[in-house]
Amino acid sequence: MAIWKNLPSLEQLNAMRANTMIGTLDIQITEIGDDYVRGTMPVDARTHQPYGLLHGGASVSLAETLGSIAAMLCCDPKSERAVGLDINANHLRAVTSGRVIGTVRPIHVGRSTQVWEIRIEDEGGKLVCISRLTTIVVPAQAIPVGKG
């Protein structure tokens, strides 16, 4: 049974990337399951650090993107918004090329807070980064969409 309160299509979610860091890093949402969201990000010049390795900040950007999307899907879009409150990440393996795949699953989905675990793996399925995102749920009018 799906945990989502609203479920846009993959096309709608990916259309939100335009003119954002998500688009700049070419993060793509590829799959939505009953209790997870999966997405990918390239490991290339956009996401490298000076040694040619995947930048830890890029991994955190992927993690926060996936966690924030999952949190959004657990909110009533007419009355609620979820925004990041805290994120941490452990970088476990270097990646120099290809794509990384992130999968977010819930640890806790409450009325006012949500906690998400994001696992980022290389194309061979090896764990690259493990992250945890905490979001807070606020009234929709506190965060107007498309303003900025």
d(C-alpha 129, C-alpha 93), whole Å: 7
Determine the straight-line distance between the first and last CA of the chain, rounded to whole angstroms. 36
* Residue with tokens 């009234």, as numbered in its chain: 139
Distances (CA, A) of 83 to 7, 112, 140: 18, 11, 11
Q: Which of 11, 31, 64, 80 is catalytic?
A: 64
Give strand pairing partners of 102: 39, 120
d(C-alpha 26, C-alpha 132), whole Å: 22
Active site residue 64: yes
Amino acid sitting at position 79: S
Amino acid sitting at position 35: D
The residues annotated with a catalytic role in the active site are 64
